Amino acid sequence: MKYAIIKNGGKQYRVSENEVIELDKLNAALGEAVTFDQVLMLVNGDEIKLGKPLLSSIQVKGEVVKQARQDKINVIKFRRRKHHMKKIGHRQYYTAVKITAIEG
């Protein structure tokens, strides 16, 4: 099984080919190709390549499948006995990317 660990938006993701992952919002149109060059690790069967900290010769390519917002999260701030309650809702933007190839 071939997979890679990539870094995007301060987070790390484990990706393999033909997998759809949800990333923080990218400035890319629907159907546009994206390339991730910050690859931390590559596993191909028994062969493991580790970067120090990055693998410069490896690239992960993907295609934008969806631009949307996640489900709403309700946050309630409450102070007991003070008659204070604040309700806030938040929906995070995300981009769904289908990984097409791991090259290198």
* pLDDT for the residue numbered 89: 97
- Give dist(CA 41, CA 55) in Å, integer: 7
DSSP for the chain, written as a single string:
-EEEEEEETTEEEEEETT-EEEEE--S--TT-EEEE--EEEEEETTEEEEEEEEETT-EEEEEEEEEEE---EEEEEEETTTTEEEEEEE--EEEEEEEEEEE-
Residues of the chain with pLDDT under 70: none
Contacts of 15 (CB under 8 A, 6+ apart): 3, 4, 5, 6, 21, 60, 99, 102
Residue type for 68, please?
A
pTM listed for this prediction: 0.85
Digit-coded pLDDT (tens) for 7-29: 999 999 999 999 999 999 999 99
Specify the pLDDT at position 24.
96
Tell the residue number behind the tokens 């410069």, with chain if given. 56
